Chains A and B, each alone.
Chain A
Amino acid sequence: MQEQTAILEFKGVAVRSASSQISGISQIDFSLGRGEIAVVSLEEGREHIPLAPLAQGLLTPDSGCVLFQGADWAHMKAARQSVERGRIRRVYEHYGWVTNLDVMENLCLSECHHTQRTRDEVMQEIRGLARRFGLEDIPEARPTRVHGMVLRKLEWVRALVGTPSLIILERPLFGAPKADAPKLMEAVCEASRRGVAVLWLTEDERVMECRSLGALRQFRMDGEKLVAVSSGRESDG
């Protein structure tokens, strides 16, 4: 039987620390298949680990390579990179909004740009997902006028809209009510059951301990290295 192509693959990836806020990483090797969830545990207060920008081809590694759906980001043309990034959703560790667009435009942006879906259709899905996280209305204001907690939950909504291949969650529970964490985990599990691969960077131990997260593989950052804590597959070291 032919082996299925991994959604995301890091092969001997190393990046030198570019600033005091961004951590260097070395010899990162792992792959993430369809429907798999990889949780990377981070120490509290640790500087930014550039796994998300690497996974999206926004940062070129100093050595090694990152493959998305079997293709090396470094060998893709810019137009192809944009199309592939349209299949990735992300909750950002830093501010993840475009301030000259209102919140709904921000939420619809990727889906309206990359698919033929109508805006009304996308908005309907967004409203449904928002209700799931306790948001009855989507604010009509620009993001700078919306409360940080609401924006954080709306980032979860944006990450779940449409049919992405990969969802990257960078400390998604930061700034969100603790009571809502299970709702996010449940939504992520559902996405994973639909075949979406999930890369979840967290400081929150509850995510590591959450048994409801189906095909869960756990890692932790040990200095600059990624260490497998428990692997859903035997092939991982």
Chain B
Amino acid sequence: MSFIASIGQGAINLYHRIRWVVSISTAIVQLAFHPSSWTKPVRAVLTRQIVFTGYDAIGFVAVVALLTGISVVVQAQVWMGRLGQSELLGPLLVTVIVREVGPLLVNFIVIGRSATAMAAELAGMKVRHEVEVLDSQGLDPLVFLVMPRAISMALSVFGLAMLFVVFSFGSGYLCGAFLGTGPGDPGIFARSVVRGVSSYDFYNILAKTLIPGLLTGVIAANEGLSVEGVATDIPQAVTRTVVRATLAVLVVSVIVSVLTYI
């Protein structure tokens, strides 16, 4: 009985957590469309977070994209050539890089690099009573702390994913050309890729970057701000952020993929 009860309790807790994250995310999107939310200090936080989460991560994302491009694009070129299906190279690359690998890897990079930092930063603020200091000055923590961070994370994941796609295709093509495995003419390669892109891919990459990015920001903020006054709880909040944000990214990715092919 207690085993069944614990499963039931776990399911109820999971339901409450998901409902909480979804309701906060919805509130943030509503707030973001309200011009009065974007006061000067809130805009300053957004800018700072975009620089940290997006701009500062470009170098690392570029390196990962270059390496991914070399391994994925070159292999695809070789095998499609051997199978005599070179005309399917574009659709295959779009499926692998644009729909799956690009958004997933960028989301994981942002979780590891920025969401952890965000959770630790907010947890530290909570422990030092700085959230109360903000609240007492009339700066709603949801508006000042959570909204600009979550929005910046969504925008940064989208921007970095676009860069990832461009860098990985570029590096894959150049490596293939260098090794003599690719089509040689960049025009043929580009046309092959463009042919593989459909309007669904646009919605797909939007859904796989903006939604998980937003959820990652909300989860990191929620875990950070749920720390109750003890500094030793901060590492646990960071760990929970990584686990829950990774799960959220994978679940959204699977749902969007399934919806794309239905």
Contacts and interface: CB of A to CB of B under 8 A. Distances in A.
Nearest to B229: A19
Interface stretch (A94-102, A178-186, A217-225): A94-102
Interface residues of B, number: 23
Given A109-B41, A113-B41, A113-B42, A99 B136 contact: no
A58 interface: yes
B135 interface: yes
B56 interface: no
Interface string B127-147: 011101111111110111000
B125 interface: yes
A86 B133 contact: no
A40 interface: no
Nearest to B142: A78
B85 interface: no
B139 A82 contact: yes
Contact of A98 (B125, B138, B142): B125
Contact of B136 (A78, A83, A88, A114): A88
Dominant SS among interface residues on chain A: helix
Contacts of B42: 113
Contacts of A88: 136, 138
Contacts of A112: 39-41
B121 interface: yes
Contacts of A23: none
A100 B137 contact: no
A56 B136 contact: yes
B39 A85 contact: no
A83 B130 contact: no
A85 B138 contact: yes
Contacts of A108: 41
A110 B139 contact: yes
Contacts of A113: 39-42, 137-139, 144
Contacts of A119: 40
A110 B39 CA distance: 11
A86 B128 CA distance: 21
A58 B121 contact: no
B41 A97 contact: no
Contacts of B128: 95, 99
A152 interface: no
A98 B41 contact: no
B79 to A, nearest CB: 50
Contacts of A82: 138-140, 143
Contacts of A52: 136
Nearest to B132: A58
Nearest to A109: B41
Interface in B37-75: 39-42, 44
Interface of B: 39-42, 44, 121, 124-125, 128-130, 132-140, 142-144
Interface of A: 52-53, 56, 58, 78-79, 81-88, 90, 92, 94-100, 105, 108-110, 112-114, 119
Given A52-B136, A95-B128, 20 more contacts: A58-B132, A82-B138, A82-B139, A82-B140, A83-B138, A86-B138, A88-B136, A90-B136, A92-B133, A95-B130, A95-B133, A97-B130, A100-B125, A105-B44, A109-B137, A110-B138, A112-B39, A113-B39, A113-B138, A113-B144
26 contacts: A53-B136, A58-B136, A78-B140, A78-B142, A82-B138, A82-B143, A84-B138, A85-B135, A85-B138, A86-B137, A88-B136, A95-B128, A95-B130, A97-B133, A98-B130, A100-B125, A109-B41, A109-B134, A109-B137, A109-B139, A110-B137, A112-B39, A112-B40, A112-B41, A113-B139, A113-B144
